[in-house]
Amino acid sequence: MTHEMLADLAALAPELWLTAAIVATVVADLFVGVRGRALVGTLALTGIGLALWSLAHPAEDMPHRVFGLIQTDGYARFFRALILSGTGLVVLQAIVFRGIEEATRNEFVPMLLGTALGGCLLVSTDNLIMLLLSLEMLSLNSYLLAGWQRRERRSSEAALKYLVYGALASALMVFGFSLLYGISGSLDLPVIGVAVSAAWSGAHSTQIVVIIATVLCFVGFGFKIAAFPFHFWAPDVYEGSPTPVTTFLAVASKAAGFGVLCRFVDGVFLGEAFNAEWLPRLAHVVAVLSAVTMTYGNVTAVLQRNVKRLLAYSSIAHAGYLLMGVAVMLARDGGESGLDALLFYLATYYLGTLGAFGCVMALANRFGAEDTDDLQGLGWSAPVTCGLLVVFLVSLTGLPPTAGFAGKFMLFRACLDGGLAWLAVVGALNAVVALFYYFKIARALYLRGDTTFVPGLGRRGVLPALAHFSLLLLGLATVYWGLDFDALSHWVARSLL
Amino acid sequence: MDILTLITFSPLLAMLAIMLVPAGRKDTLRTLCAVGAFVPLLLASKLWMDFDTAQAGYQFVKQVDWISALGVQYYVGVDGLSIPLVWLTTLLLFIAPFAAWRIEKGVKGFMLLLMLLETGILGVFCSLDLFLFYVFWEVMLLPMYFLIGIWGGPRREYAAIKFFLYTLAGSVLMLLAIVALYLCVRDSVATPFSIPMLSQLVQDGTLTGVNLVDNGVLFGWPFLKWVFVFFFIGFAIKVPIVPFHTWLPDAHVEAPTSISMVLAGILLKLGCYGILRINLGMFPAIAMDFALVGAVIGVVSILYGAFVAMAQTDFKRLVAYSSVSHMGYVLLGASAFTTLGLNGAAMQMFTHGTSSAMLFLLVGVAYDRAHHREIEGFGGLASVAPLYTGLTTLGFFAALGLPGMSGFVSEFLVLVGAWNVYPVLTSLAVIGIVVTAGFLLWTLQRVFLGPLNEKYKDFPEVDGREVFTLVPLGVLCVLLGVVPTLLLGHMDATLEKLRLLFA
């Protein structure tokens, strides 16, 4: 092996560790069987830990591109870190909490790791073929994960729905890719960007091709991030999937979607040569999509009683907020402040959503509660978990002193700065709607039911303790980042494209 | 550590201490909370003593960098406008645990949230950095939601979320205004959130928003006018002024006594304080443009609040609506931009803080004994509970502005101050005083005079704990009525400086 290839492989260390963990968990499952849940979980967590470690300590002479397909820039590192850490927490929760059938729990873990691997590759590539392959690697695994509870009708329905919608979106996106290839003769996004801008200044008919290609690509990405009007799968899939899968879809899968969307937007539309006159128009289209997505998600979430469904609609609303960042990217030259705000918001959304789902799982585990009505009065029986849940809800609403506020602040700043003041107003008023439904959960926890202590079921051991401890850490991080954005904004600044 | 930081965060320490006590030890928790609230009261009293009344600017200033990426500072200080409110906050929050002594449900949570609330309120009054101001402003909402929602009356859920939604709707607009101001100045100054700095820039004419929007004009209005309006809506909801007042009767009526007291006594003042500090202090020129609007809204609030209060049959609702009326005076006085008007407005904030807190405590006394609040359901209580009757009379007289009581001084100042500027509106406001006197005296008559309602022939007299909560407020009402300079002396210099902005 040549030195270059070794260096290339070293740059892929996180993915390699992940692959090693997949192999190790599959093999371990063969030997220890159902009873070895702790071993499988530990192996998976170790693999993810090592992957994160290698991500944090890159080699000095790391190449910028690996095999001509994979980027190793700070941007890819940012998203890989999010996906890996999110997956780690989901694995931990899947192992500890109920929600996944006992018999198949060990097979669930490598499947989840494989999905994460797809996500990691997806956010790192700027080549259309690689992009498509890794997107399908992420999606196909996700369909299976959504239908993991074979005996539950809702779960199967979720998987089927997800598959059908997903296949359609992918097909349209591939068609869009083929048009882009036809225009540019290349699969690399920067080259496509140059060709697209040339085509735009050309004949009327080529302009239409560019518009069609753009729309089709946005359908694919919009599906992945669950933006209006490509969100129809989300509520049913979120509700029907086992909760760990829901968490994974809401965080890691959504992050991967935004990772690839931003890279696509940056590569194709924000290159040096791009026709500046077209961009503000595209920015306004995205801004309207963003406003509609967040309003739709929030207003519909108000009507929900099932906690998972409620969080599903809320995650649609958050996709709308994140799209604010994309709109600003397109509205301004360079788009730095929009991307900056988007990454910042994504990180804070991550904390809140992982934490909220984790707390809901912990409560469901102890008290068997899933509807908001089942949560009644639990605030008095599980004060720590419910207190943390309130912190996460406050963060998702966007109130200080939590990370969610920092995220909203950055987005509003970017919007006002980018000349999209109306979008900032819509976003701000949406926060009020969000408060109403997030606090339906808080209301059930504390305002209703009686205040007597119910012991509930608890599991003892190192992993359950770790799962609860991770929730506490998420809660502390939520408050810490809300009080001091500096740490987070430095990290984000290093990750800009 | 500087004294303002100590005052603001000492309740937070008390909160941490309360967390460590087991939930079952209720008396320990209550005592701990009372002690925890006594510390800031002591410190605030010391602050009051050390305050240099000749100085108009901010004192006890502390300025530390906080979020360097945005230029946010931990920047606190008090002047003549905020120091009375800081002291009043510590006093009422010290009384609150005593007023809530009888609460048996979730004592630990109650006391914990009460202390968090105190930190939030004090932080708002002390902040001189808009970002910090906003953070404290929102921190205060969360404990209030739970305090009303868990320990409130039958419609508590509705009242709690209504309070939360209304206030948040206002404050998100305020957040946008803050961000917009920040974007205007971030390139030119190192501390783009500092209130003194921004006021200076606005008044110099350097801050116009031209770098953010074309020509500084947005949808036909100057950019700063939008900023002003967004701030104003945020504060107006909190005051509250008609037509944003509908959360108030619900929240005040459903909240437990101690929380109603804090709501009426302090939270309403936050809105007025914001208007004086930010709308007037930061944008004097635009405030002049809106002066007539402010005065009209003030008079509408005075009259509407008074007339609606008169129609109430629920004792607590009556007191709640009287607050709407009394807050109107603050707006009227502030819109006059005269020395007397501003003094009256600032003093009305304090005097209403004491008298309305007292009224809510008094209503609580009746409710604890009779378990209802129908004014018509009592009658002749004077013969069985003379001390209670005496204290209530005192509170009512303070609220209706009887000469010799604090309410008289502040309302008189407002009316005299506004007379030259808005003669017609001021004459209308005087009708409000008559109506207020009318419904309060009528209530006094229905509850305490006349034949004794047989159901209440064993109506217990106020006990020692209740007297302890009522007396400090009663003393203040009389003392400030006789020697108003005790309070006005502290505010004079600052308010004169504020008035000069409009000269």
pLDDT score of A5: 75
pLDDT score of A229: 85
Residues of B within 8 A of A421 (CB-CB) are 180, 213, 218
For chain A, say whether B19 makes contact (Cβ under 8 Å): no
For chain A, say whether B217 makes contact (Cβ under 8 Å): no
Separation of alpha carbons B107 and B283, rounded Å:
44
AA identity, residue A316: I
Separation of alpha carbons A309 and A121, rounded Å:
29
Separation of alpha carbons A169 and A159, rounded Å:
15
The torsion angles phi and psi of B62, rounded to 5 degrees, stand at -135, 130
Would you put residue A414 in left (φ > 0), alpha (ψ -120 to 50) or beta? alpha
Q: Kindly indicate the confidence band of residue A404, based on its pLDDT and cuts at 50, 70 and 90.
A: very high
A199 part of a folded domain:
no
> Is A447 in contact with B157 (Cβ distance < 8 A)?
yes
- Which stretch of DSSP H or E encloses residue B65? strand B59-67
pLDDT score of B207: 82
Burial letters A389-428, b for 16+ CB under 10 A, else e: bbbbbbbbbbbbbbbbbbbbbbbbbbbbbbbbbebbbbbb
Evaluate whether B48 touches B82 at the Cβ level (below 8 Å).
Answer: no
Low-confidence winner among A57-61, A197-201, A483-487 (lowest mean pLDDT): A57-61
From B69, B150, B182, residue closest to A485, measured CB to CB: B69
Please name every residue paired with B452 in a beta bridge, in sequence order, or none if there are none: none
Residues of B within 8 A of A416 (CB-CB) are 176, 179-180, 183, 212
Separation of alpha carbons A307 and A361, rounded Å:
10
Evaluate whether B200 touches B228 at the Cβ level (below 8 Å).
Answer: no
Structural domain for A422, as ranges? 276-497
The torsion angles phi and psi of A65, rounded to 5 degrees, stand at -130, 140
The torsion angles phi and psi of B449, rounded to 5 degrees, stand at -100, 180
pLDDT score of B331: 93
Q: What is the pLDDT of residues B271-317, one digit of tens each?
A: 999 999 999 999 999 999 999 999 999 999 999 999 999 999 999 99
pLDDT score of A169: 92
CA distance B144 to chain A (A): 13
CA distance A84 to chain B (A): 27
pLDDT score of A216: 93
> Is A416 in contact with B173 (Cβ distance < 8 A)?
no
From B149, B168, B218, residue closest to A435, measured CB to CB: B168
pLDDT over 70 (residue A497): no
> Is A446 in contact with B182 (Cβ distance < 8 A)?
no
> Is A401 in contact with B139 (Cβ distance < 8 A)?
yes
The torsion angles phi and psi of A188, rounded to 5 degrees, stand at -90, 135
For chain A, say whether B139 makes contact (Cβ under 8 Å): yes
For chain A, say whether B70 makes contact (Cβ under 8 Å): yes
Residues of B within 8 A of A431 (CB-CB) are 168, 172
For chain A, say whether B20 makes contact (Cβ under 8 Å): no
Closest alpha carbon to A220 in A266, A181, A185, A256: A256
Task: Show the tokens assigned to B16.
Answer: 């941490």
Considering only alpha carbons, which residue of chain B is nearest residue A394?
B142
pLDDT score of A458: 64
* Distance from chain centroid for Cα B333: 16
> Is B135 in contact with A401 (Cβ distance < 8 A)?
yes
Task: Show the tokens assigned to A192.
Answer: 């496509």
> Is B138 in contact with A400 (Cβ distance < 8 A)?
yes
Cis peptide upstream of residue B472 (ω within 30 degrees of 0): no
Separation of alpha carbons B344 and B351, rounded Å:
10
Separation of alpha carbons B11 and B237, rounded Å:
27
Evaluate whether A77 touches A255 at the Cβ level (below 8 Å).
Answer: no
The bridge status of strand B72-78 relative to strand B217-218 is: unpaired
Separation of alpha carbons B279 and B270, rounded Å:
13
* Distance from chain centroid for Cα B396: 19
Total residues belonging to chain A: 497
CA Rg, chain A, in Å?
A: 22
> Is A432 in contact with B172 (Cβ distance < 8 A)?
yes
Residues of A within 8 A of B178 (CB-CB) are none
pLDDT over 70 (residue A99): no
pLDDT over 80 (residue A35): no
For chain B, say whether A79 makes contact (Cβ under 8 Å): no
Q: Which percentage of chain A shows pLDDT scores above 90?
A: 43
CA distance B140 to chain A (A): 10
Please name every residue paired with B194 in a beta bridge, in sequence order, or none if there are none: B129
For chain A, say whether B176 makes contact (Cβ under 8 Å): yes
> Is B172 in contact with A489 (Cβ distance < 8 A)?
no
Evaluate whether B357 touches B265 at the Cβ level (below 8 Å).
Answer: yes
Give the start-to-end residue ranges of the domains of chain B.
290-503
Task: Show the tokens assigned to A169.
Answer: 């979106």
Listed in sequence order, the residues at least 6 apart from B275 whose beta carbon sits closer than 8 Å to its beta carbon are B232, B235, B236, B239, B330, B331, B334
Residues of B within 8 A of A428 (CB-CB) are 172-173, 175-176
> Is B142 in contact with A424 (Cβ distance < 8 A)?
no
Residues of B within 8 A of A412 (CB-CB) are 175-176, 179
Q: Which percentage of chain B shows pLDDT scores above 90?
A: 78
pLDDT over 90 (residue B236): yes
Residues of A within 8 A of B172 (CB-CB) are 428-429, 431-432
pTM above threshold 0.90 = yes
Q: Report the number of distinct structural domains present in chain A.
A: 1
- Which stretch of DSSP H or E encloses residue B59? strand B59-67
The bridge status of strand B221-222 relative to strand B217-218 is: antiparallel
A403 part of a folded domain:
yes
> Is A421 in contact with B218 (Cβ distance < 8 A)?
yes
Closest alpha carbon to A303 in A290, A317, A293, A313: A313
What ipTM was assigned to the predicted interfaces of this complex?
Answer: 0.91
Listed in sequence order, the residues at least 6 apart from B241 whose beta carbon sits closer than 8 Å to its beta carbon are B297, B298, B300, B301, B324, B327, B328, B331
Would you tell me how many other CB atoms lie within 10 Å of the CB of residue A324? 30
Place of tokens 């609860």: A468
Separation of alpha carbons B101 and B329, rounded Å:
34
Task: Show the tokens assigned to A407.
Answer: 């995220």
DSSP state letter for A7: H
Task: Show the tokens assigned to B171.
Answer: 């404050």
A447 part of a folded domain:
yes
pLDDT score of A476: 94
Residues of B within 8 A of A400 (CB-CB) are 134-135, 138-139
For chain B, say whether A387 makes contact (Cβ under 8 Å): no
CA distance B352 to chain A (A): 30
Q: What is the pLDDT of residues B441-465, one digit of tens each?
A: 999 999 998 888 888 888 889 999 9
Closest alpha carbon to B235 in B275, B182, B267: B275
Closest alpha carbon to B487 in B80, B44, B60: B80
Mutate: best of B18, B175, B182, B217, partner A, most A CBs <10 A? B175
The torsion angles phi and psi of A251, rounded to 5 degrees, stand at -105, -70
Q: Kindly indicate the confidence band of residue B242, based on its pLDDT and cuts at 50, 70 and 90.
A: confident
pLDDT over 80 (residue B61): yes
pLDDT over 90 (residue A468): no
Q: Please report, to the nearest 10 degrees, the dihedral formed by the alpha carbons of residues A249, A250, A252, A256 taken in order.
A: 90
Listed in sequence order, the residues at least 6 apart from B411 whose beta carbon sits closer than 8 Å to its beta carbon are B329, B344, B348, B401, B433
Helical packing angle, A421-442 and A307-331, nearest 10°:
160
Closest alpha carbon to A36 in A103, A94, A91, A116: A103
A171 part of a folded domain:
no
Separation of alpha carbons B201 and B224, rounded Å:
12
Q: Please report, to the nearest 10 degrees, the dihedral formed by the alpha carbons of residues B312, B313, B315, B316 taken in order.
A: -50
Angle at B153 between CA B149 and CA B159, to 5 degrees: 50
DSSP state letter for B129: B
pLDDT score of A167: 92
User: Residue B53: exposed, middle, or buried by beta-carbon count in 10 A (0-12, 13-18, 19+)?
Assistant: middle
pLDDT over 70 (residue B82): yes
Closest alpha carbon to A443 in B5, B437, B152, B256: B152
The torsion angles phi and psi of B371, rounded to 5 degrees, stand at 60, 25
pLDDT over 70 (residue A272): no
Separation of alpha carbons A404 and A321, rounded Å:
11
Angle at A136 between CA A135 and CA A140, to 5 degrees: 130
Beta strands in B216-347 (DSSP E): 217-218, 221-222
DSSP state letter for B453: P
> Is A447 in contact with B141 (Cβ distance < 8 A)?
no
Evaluate whether B344 touches B414 at the Cβ level (below 8 Å).
Answer: yes
Q: What is the pLDDT of residues A282-331, one digit of tens each?
A: 889 999 999 999 999 999 999 988 888 888 889 999 999 999 999 998 88
Q: What is the pLDDT of residues B186-235, one digit of tens each?
A: 888 888 999 999 999 998 888 887 777 777 787 888 889 999 999 999 99
